[in-house]
Amino acid sequence: MIEHLPVLLVVLPIIGASVPLVASLYTDRIGWSIAVLTMLAYAALAGLLAQQVWPDTVVSYAVGGFALPYGIELVVDGLSLAVVLLISAITLGVLAYARHAGPHENTFYSQLLLLVTGLTGMTVTGDVFNLYVFLEITGLAAYGLVASGREASAAVAALKYLIIGTVGASLYLLGVGYALAVTGTLNMADMSGKLAAVGYDSTLVLTAFGLMVGGLSVKVALFPLHTWQPDAYANSPDSVSAFISALVSTVSAYALARLLFSVFTVDFLTAVPAARWALIVVASVSIVAGSALAVSQASVQRMLAYSSVSQFGLVIAGFAVATPIAVVGATVHLVGHAVMKGGLFAATGIIERETGTTTIGGYAGMGGRTPLAAGAFTVLALGMVGVPPAIGFVGKWYILVGAVEAELWPVVAVLLASTLLTLAYFARLGERLYFAEPTIREEGAIADGGEGSDGGERAEGSRSSSEPRSEGGDGDDGENAVSTGMLAVLVVAAVLAVALTAAVPALEQLLTETLPPLIQ
Amino acid sequence: MAGPLTTVPPVVVLLAVAIAIAALPRRAGHALGIVASGAALAWAWAVPSGAFLRTTFLGFDAVLLNVDDFSRLMGVIFGIIGVAAVLYSYASEAESVQTAFAYSYVATSYGAVFAGDWLTLLFFWELMAVTSTLLVWHYRGKAVRAGYRYAIFHGIGGTLLMAAILQNYAIKGTFLFGSVPGGPETMGIAAGLPAALAAVGIGVNVGFIGLHAWLPDTYPRPHIAASVFLCVFTTKTGVYGMYRAFPDGHVAIAYMGGGMAVFGATFALFQNDMRRLLSYHIQSQVGYMIAGVGIGSALSQAGAFAHVFNHILYKGLLFMTAGVVVYRTGEENLKKLGGLARKMPITAGAFTVAALSIAGFPGFNGFVSKGIVIDGAHYTFVDGPVPVYEWTTLEWLLLLGGVGTFMSFIKFGYYAFFHGEYDGDVEDANRGQSVAMVGIAALCVFYGLFDGALFSLLPFDVTSKAAVEKVYTTYTVVHVVEGVILGLIGLVGFALAKKPLSKLGRVPDIDSLTNPAVFYGTRGLVVGLTDLYAAVDRAAVAGASTVVNSVTNPDTVYEEVVEGDHSNPLRAGIGVSILVLAVFVTVVLLLLP
């Protein structure tokens, strides 16, 4: 069985996704348990896989035993392993959060597992067309999840996401078509060799590159292709926004990196400087514009969404710099950002449940009212800014050192500025949380029909929060808005944001052992 | 090599103390803070020299504890002022949380001055900016906005320094200081662009002219005890960092120091807010230190660090006395005070000692260290463009700064303590405040009279021909006469300038230019970006809707576009997004070959 691990990782969640649908005939509340069981098994499989890959093996698997390069190949190396482990951890975390936060329907969990299938497939596949298939599975599941919010705006956001995402994926498919026309193969490793043989300056190759990268940039949400993303993040239920903000763009960025290093290779970037500069420019613009847009937001969730635009700019910049240390940095930041951003969205969900506020103005003075959520939020925000020893610092630092080594000074300048820009929007929030007088005390008092002393404030806070929430869409939560599981997820995310730094040397070793074929 | 004193870097212990201060009852917490500062003082005194706790951080060599004469001096003086400032905080009714913030600021300062490599230094440098911002913010009110400006300034400065350090790394291949075993062969930051960036980045911290606006802006606003902490650590750590970056000095930095000495003293003279006046004097006094570092001779650098040591004592004391006046009268403005000498004899006495020290009157500690720097400028520095009489250019700048200092402190003392009568009852400093002030005042006098005690702390022995270019003797006829004459000129100058000064309104400083520039600059960036985006958006919507209208059944799509759009001009509709995507891919494809 052990040799079938890569394909089992993809198949298991598909099976898991179909069970709740069947079970719906009998009960509507079994989805969560099934999803948890599936993901526990998934985590075990991922662990076994890690054991196989560690420290320097690249696991390759031919689906159905068809001979390569004609069959579909699955490849797991250090980079994909890191993403698989991330998917496993984040999904378990989101499930712990959703236990209480909902949605509770079976269909939700089916979609969730389907999304995991797509993400895993994108991660382990070694075939460019197969990547497209999983990209679409991921997309469709994600559109459905965004639409599971009950407001009309969620439906609009999902529709927007669907149309833009599908166009992006189609562009990618077009690119695959061009590549196929040039090389006659879809297998990544095979295609990589043949592209080199054709010559990197061939118009077909360049067109394929442009279309594939352009298509994936939509999914990564780089500026100016990000327009679907803030709506999708801000309008979906908090479990969903935590999940997709942590994984969907992350895995797309991974796919972009896979394309760069496994298909086009660093030689291509060196041979066609315009391609590298195009990536670097888009990434840099993303960093600056994303931050500037984040600063101008009033809603915390939209601010976090624009922050993602900026942070993914950073990741892509790291991949485009393409020195070994920059790639390690970009991978670290990819993983670190997923943990931190997922945690931040979870924190906004909890703060909204406890206090009913979603805007930066409303966060004033909430540090005292929801100490745990606000504290975790602050830790995660500081990690995102890049305060050592948090993981956010390590990733940025490695990318920075890589850029310095490559002597790409404009990138260095943008990277340094990005820290300041990130600080600009998170400092504002931190100051609001801890150093400002509450602005929404009156609201709470009206809801409670009295002013209430300091001692009773917490209890009031949680009671009154059911009011704004009932119009917020999760009406069936009961009075106790925040469960231990939700808080535990948040605390774990905050701890991980710091503790993951300890895992960086291991990841670095893994990448340097398995990446040399990628980065010559 | 590693003994019990060198197993843990002091910052770790002190940060734990800071957390304990926040958690413990107020009295116990402050007592712990005093004891810990005393312990830090003793530790800095006793710890052997050398580089300890070598480790690798992210694959780069780092030295978490590097003790040499420079860092030892910083550790000793930080310990002394730490004891006094925590005691003063306790007596001035500072909240535990505020003192905890202040203490974490002290702790990170220890981390910075005992770092053995640029990376560690930068790490604590940035943390100092964070902790001091929190300390300012804690007072709320007007302090919050000033705290923002402070944070932005230091964020930019830290980023410039980081750029300098990275380029230095690219050139030398290591982050270690040159003085650390295994470090690069040349000390300091590599010449050229890295050096320029480092000078400006550190220049923010030490208050270079033009980069100093945060200083008088921030320090007058927080709690009176917070000001005592603030006036000590950031600028002096900056001087220390400047030495590490430029161990051989630089002419431009030396002249910048001279300019700061005159500029700060002049602007101080225009101020009526007590703590704002003192803040400008920080810039002026730091100017002497920067001049000493910039001259680059052993004598002048010894003088610079002697001045760091002394300055911390008397400037801490000045902020304490000003704080007591604010504490007792609730008044910040000199014009509304007066005649307090009779009501507050201890405070007035402490102020007099501190003022004579900062002005460099013979017998007080400022006289000793300022004299070394001026001697350094006289004997070990070039004449410069405009030497006057037998003074070098830098020397007369520093002397002129001394006159300005005398004048502004005569002004401060005259208006606060001696001019007119104070009506109403006012008590003198309470017991804790008095102990802190008298203790520091005693040290100011002690180091002024027994200059040998100060010399023994300095990195270069200024009394030995082997160590410095020109042996320094504090009490020579020339020095004493110079000191007294400066004082007399100051007195006469104040008498002449008193009338015009009192009619002078608020003199605009550079920040009346930079603040709007920064504000409208960043606002312009954000608004420009969003407006640009919205403009593109509107144009595209107009274009898209014509296209859509020409299609047979446009209604549903059109509705979507409009509905997605009306709540926020920033939100691009679906059609627009697709248009952007198409244009984007087209441009990329056109550009690629």
User: Are A435 and B592 in contact (CB < 8 Å)?
Assistant: no
Please check whether residue A346 lies inside any domain of the structure: yes
| pLDDT at residue A105 in the model | 84
- DSSP-derived letter for residue A359 is B
Partners of A400 on chain B (C-beta within 8 Å) are 166
* Cβ atoms within 10 Å of A449's Cβ, excluding its own: 8
| pLDDT at residue A470 in the model | 38
Whole-number Å distance between alpha carbons of B328 and B312: 24
The count of domains in chain A is 1
What is the share, in percent, of chain B residues with pLDDT greater than 90?
Answer: 31
Please check whether residue A29 lies inside any domain of the structure: no
Partners of B589 on chain A (C-beta within 8 Å) are 206-207, 210-211, 214
User: Are B574 and A159 in contact (CB < 8 Å)?
Assistant: yes
Partners of B585 on chain A (C-beta within 8 Å) are 171, 210-211, 214-215
Tokens 């969903």, residue located: A240
Residue-wise pLDDT for B143-187, tens only, equals: 888 888 888 888 889 989 988 998 888 888 888 888 777 777 778
* Host domain of residue A301: 283-465+483-520
Please check whether residue A386 lies inside any domain of the structure: yes
Rg (CA), chain B: 27
Please check whether residue A91 lies inside any domain of the structure: no
Partners of B533 on chain A (C-beta within 8 Å) are 224, 293
| pLDDT at residue B41 in the model | 92
Partners of A419 on chain B (C-beta within 8 Å) are 159
Q: Is the minimum CB–CB distance between B1 and chain A shorter than 8 Å? A: no
Closest CA to A292 of A410, A420, A433, A161: A420
- Across the range B292-307, mean pLDDT stands at 91
User: Are B529 and A420 in contact (CB < 8 Å)?
Assistant: no
B window 56-75, beta carbon within 8 A of A: 58-59
- DSSP-derived letter for residue B333 is B
* Cβ atoms within 10 Å of B435's Cβ, excluding its own: 15
State the 10-residue block means of pLDDT for chain A, 520 residues long. Answer: 85 90 82 90 92 84 80 88 93 90 85 93 92 93 88 87 91 93 89 88 89 92 87 87 91 93 87 89 91 87 92 93 90 93 91 85 83 90 86 90 87 87 85 77 43 40 39 42 85 90 86 67
Residue-wise pLDDT for B11-27, tens only, equals: 889 999 999 998 989 89
| pLDDT at residue A485 in the model | 83
Question: What length does chain A have?
Answer: 520
B window 158-217, beta carbon within 8 A of A: 159, 162-163, 166-167, 169-170
Chain B: residue whose CA lies nearest to A328:
B58
| pLDDT at residue A1 in the model | 67
| pLDDT at residue A90 in the model | 93
- Across the range B521-528, mean pLDDT stands at 71
Query: What average pLDDT does the structure give for chain B?
Result: 85
Closest Cβ–Cβ partner in B58, B163, B577 for A416: B163
For residue B506, give the 3-state DSSP assignment. coil
Whole-number Å distance between alpha carbons of B511 and A510: 51
DSSP states of A120-185 = HHHHHB-BHHHHHHHHHHHHHHHHHHHHTSSSHHHHHHHHHHHHHHHHHHHHHHHHHHHHHHHHS-
How many angstroms away from the CA of B167 is the closest CA of chain A? 7
Please check whether residue A16 lies inside any domain of the structure: no
Chain B: residue whose CA lies nearest to A417:
B159
Inform me whether the pLDDT recorded for B141 exceeds 70.
yes
For residue A104, give the 3-state DSSP assignment. coil
User: Are A412 and B560 in contact (CB < 8 Å)?
Assistant: no
Inform me whether the pLDDT recorded for B430 exceeds 60.
yes
- The reported pTM is 0.75
Please check whether residue A429 lies inside any domain of the structure: yes
DSSP states of B294-323 = HH-SHHHHHHHHHHHHHHHHHHHHHHHHHH
Inform me whether the pLDDT recorded for B245 exceeds 80.
yes
For residue A69, give the 3-state DSSP assignment. coil
Q: What is the ipTM of this complex?
A: 0.72
| pLDDT at residue B179 in the model | 79
Partners of B576 on chain A (C-beta within 8 Å) are 227
Closest CA to B324 of B332, B335, B312: B332
- Across the range B484-507, mean pLDDT stands at 82
| pLDDT at residue B184 in the model | 79
Torsion angle defined by CA atoms of residues A195, A199, A201 and A204, in that order, rounded to the nearest 10 degrees: -50
Question: What length does chain B have?
Answer: 593
Inform me whether the pLDDT recorded for B75 exceeds 90.
yes
Residue-wise pLDDT for B380-429, tens only, equals: 888 777 777 778 888 889 999 988 888 888 888 888 888 877 777 788 88
Please check whether residue A269 lies inside any domain of the structure: no
How many angstroms away from the CA of A469 is the closest CA of chain B? 22
Closest Cβ–Cβ partner in B527, B560, B581 for A167: B581
User: How many C-alpha atoms does A51 have within 13 Å on its Cβ side?
Assistant: 9
> What sign does the CA torsion over A212, A213, A216, A218 have?
negative
Inform me whether the pLDDT recorded for B574 exceeds 80.
no
- Across the range B547-573, mean pLDDT stands at 50
Closest CA to B526 of A416, A300, A293, A306: A293
Please check whether residue A212 lies inside any domain of the structure: no
